[in-house]
A and B are shown apart, each in its own frame.
Chain A
């Protein structure tokens, strides 16, 4: 089969498509990555204070976890559409929706991570004269890091997938190509963009896994002789819900 044929024949796999439209694919991928990265970064920035609030005042924990869980069950198409009057057709609409979704898993994981910090470590730091901020920054957050990063990984993977729905307002990254491909029955475009999307999710997950190993070298020592903290951190990881929004 010659190169030109696959575009004319509308094949699923078409090297000529990838070659001739590479700029379009790169632009869409860049948009996809930018939207995902912004959503996860803002999600962490919002979830951290919420988790700290929920830990500091226990009566706030139930409403914070409750509201973020309720947000989680709203379908993404509805979520983006409900935000429409506030943001118009813009990338910030998609990012806001994705941030709202990320909160459920992030708040839960950060909270579980902070609560799993051994009391002895906290007491020791206080005894050494650490103030509350320094305690948080130098002792509690590093110890909560494995659970936090586990949450970030789950969130990132599902955000990459969810970003595609942003196609409804034309800011869906690769999703926009997928939706256009449906309108024009362009099979190669749909399959290539879908495959890129899955590849992106896997690449992001591996990258974050590497980052986690780099940032928390002490967790590897625990794997040899599991201590109390390692077990608690594992428990924290299992907090994340199994399902994800669509």
Chain B
């Protein structure tokens, strides 16, 4: 496989890692886009989903938003936003698209997580005299934590993947290495870029699995629900 050994050569050439079109700069762009958008999406979606889950309303909304999200092609949204007047503001279309695509998994998982907490546990906590606020913070949230974190993980992977597609709409990020490779008809560069992107996606997933485990409020205790 010519392209594979070529990709190895590309990756081991230090010139490809330096400068504005180098791997480090693209990686920084990618992480900046992804990090900011994931944070914004969490700030928007999680409080809404948790409150709705706590009061038990809006289930149809949470589920439908994620179903609609599945049918909408990410690439189309990115390109549509780029062609609107927003496109003149550089990164803005990408940032908006990333946030839009991170919201559905966050919303749906957090809502379902809050709703699936064992009702008898909730009733018992109420019976012990817990207020709504205490119930929320000390019972529902810790028990819903795994599903909420699954949502955060899905959203993060989604954002990292969408940030890759942003390259097709002309923005930065690691995907740029791939699209540039296509434009130059440089298959080794395409494969090398794809390898880096795949690696980043898997690394993000791995780090979040680990973080989810470390910060689990119920770690070492039995989870009653599920």
Contacts and interface: CB of A to CB of B under 8 A. Distances in A.
B72 A161 contact: yes
Contacts of A175: 73, 75-76
Interface in A120-170: 154, 157-158, 160-162, 164-165, 167-168
Contacts of A80: 194
A84 B195 CA distance: 12
A246 interface: yes
B136 interface: no
The CB with the most chain B CB atoms within 10 A, among A73, A75, A167, A168, is that of A75
Contact of A243 (B1, B155, B169, B195): B155
B178 A77 contact: yes
B16 interface: no
B76 A77 contact: no
A191 B79 CA distance: 9
Given A74-B201, A78-B164, A81-B194, A242 B75 contact: no
A181 B197 contact: no
B161 A245 contact: yes
B177 to A, nearest CB: 10
Contacts of A116: none
Contacts of B190: 81, 84
B213 interface: no
Interface residues of A, number: 45
The interface residues of chain A, by DSSP majority, are classed as helix
A191 B80 CA distance: 7
B205 to A, nearest CB: 5
B53 interface: no
Contact of A81 (B70, B151, B191, B201): B191
A82 interface: yes
B108 A242 contact: yes
Contacts of A243: 104-105, 154-155, 157-158
A85 B4 contact: yes
A78 B168 CA distance: 12
Interface residues of B, number: 54
A22 B167 CA distance: 29
Contacts of B161: 73-77, 245-246
A178 interface: yes
B197 A75 contact: yes
Contact of B154 (A168, A185, A241): A241
A75 B164 contact: yes
Contacts of B179: 77, 168
A201 interface: yes
A187 interface: yes
Given A73-B205, A242-B104, A194 B76 contact: yes
A165 B167 CA distance: 12
A197 interface: yes
Nearest to B79: A182
B198 interface: yes
User: Which of A76, A82, A164 has the largest count of B CB atoms less than 10 A from its CB?
Assistant: A82
A205 interface: yes
Contact of B175 (A77, A79, A181, A182): A77
A49 B158 CA distance: 29
B71 A198 contact: yes
Interface string B94-131: 00000001001100110000000000000000000000
B70 A78 contact: no
A236 interface: no
- The 5 A-B pairs of least Cβ separation, nearest first, read A243-B154, A81-B194, A75-B161, A246-B161, A85-B3
Given A165-B74, A246-B164, 16 more contacts: A74-B198, A75-B197, A77-B179, A78-B198, A78-B201, A80-B194, A82-B198, A84-B190, A85-B2, A168-B182, A194-B76, A197-B73, A205-B71, A242-B150, A243-B155, A246-B101
